[in-house]
A and B are shown apart, each in its own frame.
Chain A
Amino acid sequence: MSFFGFDTTLPRDRAAPSERRGIFETPDPFAEVARARAAGFQGGDDDDDEVIDFEDTYDGLGDQLDDDQDAFNDDTFGDDLGAPPVGKDFDFFGKTAQVADAIGEEQIRYSLQKPRAPPAAAVTADIAADPAVTAAAGKPKRTGYEKYSDPGYIPDLQAKSSVWGVQKKQDPTPFMMAQAQAQAQAQAQAQAQAQAQAQAQAQAQAQAQAQAQAKKMLSLEEVEAQLRRYPSALPGQVPVSLPQSMPEPAHPLQRAQMPPLPEGFAQLPPELLHAQFAKGVPPPAQLLHQPPMVPEPYPLAPHAPNMPMHLLQNANMPPQHMGPPQRQMMPPGGPRAQQQQPPPPPQNMRGNNAQLPVITNPQQLMHLSEEQRVAYLMEDAKRAKRNHKIFLLSKGNGLMTPQDKNFITRIQLQQLVAAAGNVVDSDSEAVLAEDFYYQVYSQIRGAPRQHPHQPLGHFAQTYLLQTGNRLGGHGNRRQFQNADNHMQRMQQQVQRAVEAAKAKPKNKQLIIEGSLGKISFGNAKAPKPMLNLKRPESSEGGKSFKKPQTDLSLSDRKSILTNIESVYSTLMEMEDMERTMPPPPDENDPEAIQKHMEWRQNVRSLNQKLWRELKVMEPIVPNTNTPHPFIAFLSYPKGKKAIPRIFRHIDQEQRVTILTMIVVHLDTLDVVRRAQPVPGETQPSLAVREAIDLFSQTVMPSLLGYVNEAPFNIIIGLLGLVIAQTHVQLVAKTRIGLGILTMLLSRAEIVKEADQASERDWQQWVEKFNVLFDTLEPTFADLFPSSINAGDDMYVWQFLAAVGIGASPDQQQRLVIAVKDRVMETVTYSKTLPADMASQRLGNVNLFMRAIGLDVELLG
């Protein structure tokens, strides 16, 4: 029993010794080998490698074989035994097919064999023809060139007669054997041409056997066609095959080393093969002796025709790599000059090359002087080295198309975008958000835009231009069509990336995988936060004024101002909406219609929001100290300024509502209420005057704009409201109050003159007007600012004119009586004024006088 529990009972002859041995008795490891070797020599080529006896290991599988199933043997091994005898037109393919099986078997065995074993008789006829090789096969380190060391050696030249003759020369050298295992796999992929030479190669066929059998039915023409499909190949690591196969297309080994390439890479193989040739170029000493048996053009020649391809390939490489291929063009130059002089030292490669003869026929080498030959071979070695270098550098050439590169770039950019957080939709939006004042101001005032989106946009542009050049440079035909599209996508991508980079990074913390801490970072725009506090959502101030019913708090300054601000923000939203209005929808474009509908929906909801925030519809509470929220809204300059903007975004109904609201609250309006000068003062305080000015500049035009289009019945209703709801006398003493009254009266007059008023409406109006006139009659003289020189009284004259036009002759007379004094006063006063001011004052008076059919001129 073994100490390790191995089952030691199997081989009968070994059982005894192992039992005899103790644990510490060292076995002689080589004894077995020696024994096996001896056995192997005696046992023949079948199991000479085995350590144990055949009988011991035979598992009896052979007994299970079904010997009856020979039906397809002919198919498998070929039944055409009556083929013509081997000659110069040897049926290479057919023969190969016939012995394919045997080759395969031999192959496996051969590769497993010890080198010293005689080569198997697989291709016996061929090998026997060359005893030197047979002998050489025994020494693994041999290169196969030994026989050429004799300068006089001239091998059988018939090899050149046809590429198919190659097989005559080919033989399995030890060099190949060493590679056999590694290449076996690759060769399995080799195509039919590999198979064509299988006989000569005698390698790895077992693995490729299935394939080989599938393909062996190809005719010679087919095989040739396949061969031509591949660019001419130069020999690689198989020096022995060099002489014959150099000009031959597609050496199987070389094919095998390249994985099958897709169509798009058709240009690649020559490059690789060249380079491989460079790698495998034999040492000069051997080259020297080769020429005699290589009647075909020297490898240099094949290089030249391939140049364009070379260049094309190298276009992908940095410029410094362009050098070697160019230099390769040189050798054909200057053959004559060289003949006379020995080659100069090789510091000048170009010159050197130029002076060497062009060796088109290797036999020429033989006629050169020793020096020239050495120089030539040195050149050659250098070239080989260079080619090798190119090969190493160009391994990845063309694997990625420009499109692929773009694709990768886009992925990277995408990640950049994703990492940087949210993406701003469009450039202009972002600019407007960040730089609103400048952008709009520049548009309004036409300020010089020195550098619109300077820093980053410029950068992106530069980058894109660069890419464009590169693409245009050598994109192939297919890519050309896509290039534009590609560029656009790239551009978008870059823009988004740039935007994202501009935007504050959303993730301000970086957690490196595997680390315990976090790294937070910041930039100038978003400084690194020292405290990370979450603001509770509910603490926002918006809640309080969402209640439908307004309480007292609305009257206080803060809530009013908040209201105004919310109105403004809604206004700005609406203005933004206006800017982003989609183009008028096309009937046939459901998407555009959809968009438009959505936009309209948004506008509508914003309008509702604005309307709510204005609080126009708050119930009117009579007799309270708290002003109506909308009136409070109007009491702030900000609120007044908002009116024109609001009027642009609301419909007629909402406008009339606002107007009604203002008219109803006319006497509580700050500009009316506070417009009464405090006793002792000739006019209201400066702040109030400013407020009045502002009101008449902002609110009044909006109201006037509406009133000028308002239907007559609304005018009548409004006048009725003024009379019913307000202290008309008080209101009429203020500029704003008078202004609104003037507005209504003049509109009525216009309607009347245009004959748009129905008889009934007009009756109603006259009734109301009479009430107003009667109410105001006692105070007509008091409408004016107290002192004649208190300033502008034009609005009063305008009002009086409006009253005068609409008044009956009787009323007109009463009116004249009421204001007669003021008229005379003004006329007298104007005489003391400078001419222009005087004419202005008189013009104001005349406005009224003409309304009632008079003229200041009559007053003399």
Chain B
Amino acid sequence: MLFFSFFKTLTNQTVTIELKNDIRIRGTLKSVDQYLNIKLDNVDVLDLDKYPHLSSVKNMFIRGSVVRYVMLPRSEVDIGLLEDATRREAANQAGKAK
């Protein structure tokens, strides 16, 4: 649940999402769910001339499994906290695996 937890803190931030088909979309992150499906608002497609069919799309729901990268605003990430959260997650996983 670490990523879910992490992405939740990024709601209402502007993120850029690169899909597995190379489309890059910038928009406001509205919500994330446990599958890391993403709802984007005020969408901007970065290479719009390549994907003209997306020019009229204003918001979208992206299935989590098609996301390659999510580019985040650095200032919104608390790295120390994220490190600790990662440690906890790892400990949890280790505990569950046993």
Is A440 interfacial (CB 8 A cutoff)? yes
A572 to B81, Cβ gap below 8 A? no
Does the CB pair B87–A444 fall under 8 Å? no
Binding-face segment, B3-11, B39-47, B55-63, B66-74: B3-11
Q: Is A230 an interface residue when CB atoms closer than 8 A count as contact?
A: no
Check B92 against A438 for contact (C-beta < 8 Å). Answer: no
Contacting residue for B1 out of A434, A450, A568, CB 8 A:
A434
- Chain B, residue nearest A438 (CB): B5
What residue in chain B is nearest A571 (Cβ atoms)?
B84
Whether A572 lies near B87 (C-beta < 8 A) is yes
Name B87's contact: one of A442, A504, A568 (CB within 8 Å).
A568
B88 touching A572 by the CB < 8 A rule? yes
**Is B50's CB within 8 Å of the partner chain A?**
no
A436 to B9, CA, bound (A): 11
Chain A stretch 523-565: residues in CB contact (< 8 A) with chain B: 524-526, 535, 565
How far does the alpha carbon of A568 sit from the alpha carbon of B84 in the complex, in Å?
Answer: 8
The answer to whether A434 and B5 touch (CB under 8 A), given A441-B78, A524-B34, A569-B91, is yes
Known: A444-B81, A524-B34. A438 touches B87 (CB 8 A): no
A31 within 8 A of B: no
A436: which of B34, B88, B97, B98 is its contact (CB, 8 Å)? B88
What is the size, in residues, of chain A's interface with B at 8 Å between Cβ atoms?
26
Complex CA distance for A568 and B1, rounded to whole angstroms: 21
- Is A618 at the interface (CB under 8 A from chain B)? no
Name the B residues within 8 Å of A638 (CB-CB): 83
A406-457 interface with B by 8 A CB criterion = 433-442, 444-445, 447-448, 450
As a 0/1 sequence over residues 30 to 41 of chain B, the CB contacts with chain A under 8 angstroms (1 = contact) are: 000011000000
A435-B88 contact in complex given A504-B96, A535-B97, A641-B80, C-beta closer than 8 Å = no
Report if B48 contacts A (CB, 8 A): no
B9/A447 in contact, CB under 8 A:
yes
Closest beta carbon of chain A to B81's beta carbon, Å: 6
C-alpha spacing A447/B8, complex, angstroms: 10
* Residue interface bits A630-643, CB-to-B below 8 A is 1, else 0: 00000000100100
Contact residues in B for A439 (Cβ distance below 8 Å): 5
Most buried by B among A434, A437, A504, A535: A437
Q: Is the interface of B mostly helix, strand, loop or mixed?
A: helix
Residue of A433, A444, A447, A641 touching B92 (CB-CB under 8 A): A433
Cross-chain contact A437 with B87 (CB below 8 angstroms): no
Considering the chains assembled together, what is the distance between the CA atoms of A439 and B4 in angstroms?
Answer: 12
Cα(A525)–Cα(B93), bound, Å: 11
Chain A CB within 10 Å, residue with most, of B4, B8, B81: B8
CA distance A434 to B97 in the complex (A): 15
For B88, give the chain A residue with the smallest CB separation. Answer: A436
Q: A39 to B11, alpha carbons, bound, how many Å?
A: 104
A440-B96 contact given A447-B9, A568-B87, A572-B87, CB 8 Å threshold: no
Q: How far is the CA of A433 from the CA of B94 in the complex (A)?
A: 13
Q: How far is the CA of A572 from the CA of B80 in the complex (A)?
A: 12
Which residues in B have their C-beta under 8 angstroms from that of A569?
A: 87, 91
> Cβ of A433 and Cβ of B88 under 8 Å apart?
yes
- In angstroms, Cα B6 to Cα A526, docked, is 20
Residue of B nearest to A440 (CB): B81
Closest Cβ neighbor of B82 among chain A residues: A437
Min CB–CB distance B69 → chain A (angstroms): 19
Closest CB of chain B to A98's CB: distance in Å? 84
Report B1-28 CB contacts with A as 1/0, cut-off 8 Å.
Answer: 1101110110110000000000000000
Interface presence of B85 (CB below 8 A): yes
B35, A441: Cβ atoms under 8 Å?
A: no
Closest to B84 in A: A572
Judge whether B85 and A436 touch: CB under 8 Å.
yes
Determine the residue in chain A with the shortest Cβ distance to B94: A540
Residues of A near B9 (CB, < 8 A) are 437-438, 441-442, 445, 447
Residues from chain A with a CB closer than 8 A to the CB of B8 are 435, 438
Q: How far apart sit A526 and B95, CA to CA, in the bound complex (Å)? A: 13
User: CB distance A535 to B87 under 8 Å?
Assistant: no
Assembly CA distance A345 to B7 (angstroms):
72
One of A434, A441, A535 near B98 (C-beta < 8 A):
A535
A661-702 CB contact bits vs B (8 Å, 1 = yes)?
000000000000000000000000000000000000000000
Pair A437/B5 contact, Cβ less than 8 Å = yes
Bound Cα distance A437, B2 (Å):
7
* Chain A contacts for B34, CB-based, 8 A: 524-525
Cα A450 to Cα B32 in complex, Å, equals 12
Q: Smallest Cβ distance from B36 to chain A, in angstroms?
A: 12
CA distance A440 to B81 in the complex (A): 8
Smallest CB gap from A526: residue in B: B96
Q: How far is the CA of A524 from the CA of B35 in the complex (A)?
A: 9
Report Cα–Cα, A447/B5, bound state, in Å: 13
A565/B87 contact (C-beta < 8 A), A437-B6, A438-B9 known: yes
Is A437 a contact of B97 with CB atoms below 8 Å?
no
Bound state CA distance, A525 and B98, in angstroms? 16
Name B2's closest neighbour in chain A (CB-CB): A437
Among B4, B5, B34, residue most surrounded by chain A Cβ atoms (within 10 Å) = B5
Docked complex Cα distance between A669 and B34 (Å):
45
B77 to A: closest C-beta gap in Å: 9
Q: Using a CB-CB cutoff of 8 Å, which residues 46-88 of chain A contact chain B?
A: none
Contact B84 A435 (CB under 8 A): no
**Closest residue to B98 on the A side, CB-wise?**
A535
Report A834 CB to chain B, min CB distance, Å.
Answer: 29
Chain B minimum-CB-distance residue to A441? B9
Smallest Cβ-Cβ distance to B89: which chain A residue: A436
Q: Mark A727-752, 1 if CB is under 8 A from B, else 0.
A: 00000000000000000000000000
* Nearest-Cβ distance from residue B14 to partner chain A, whole angstroms: 15
Bound Cα distance A255, B91 (Å): 69
Residues from chain B with a CB closer than 8 A to the CB of A445 are 9, 78
Taken together as a complex, chains A and B put the C-alpha atoms of A448 and B10 apart, in Å, by 11
> With a CB–CB cut-off of 8 A, which chain B residues contact A440?
81, 85
Q: Mark A561-591, 1 if CB is under 8 A from B, else 0.
A: 0000100110010000000000000000000
Residues of B within 8 A of A504 (CB): 96
- Determine the distance from Cα of A638 to Cα of B1 in the docked complex, in whole angstroms: 24
A440 CA / B83 CA spacing, docked (Å): 12
Asked whether, in the complex, the Cβ of A437 is within 8 Å of the Cβ of B98, the reply is no
Bound-state CA distance A437–B9 (Å) is: 8
Report the minimum CB–CB distance from A428 to chain B (whole Å): 14
Residues A444 and B84 in contact in the complex (CB < 8 Å), given A435-B5, A437-B5, A437-B6 = no
Beyond A447-B9, A448-B12, list 7 extra A-B contacts (CB 8 Å): A435-B1, A436-B2, A437-B2, A441-B78, A450-B11, A525-B1, A568-B87
A-B contact pairs, 10 of them (CB 8 A): A435-B4, A435-B5, A436-B84, A442-B9, A444-B78, A448-B11, A504-B96, A524-B35, A526-B96, A568-B84
Residues in chain B within 8 A of chain A (CB atoms): 1-2, 4-6, 8-9, 11-12, 34-35, 78, 80-85, 87-89, 91-92, 96-98
Residues of chain A whose beta carbon lies under 8 Å from any beta carbon of chain B: 433-442, 444-445, 447-448, 450, 504, 524-526, 535, 565, 568-569, 572, 638, 641
Q: Which 9 A-B pairs have the closest CB atoms?
A: A437-B85, A438-B5, A437-B5, A441-B9, A435-B5, A438-B8, A436-B85, A434-B1, A436-B88
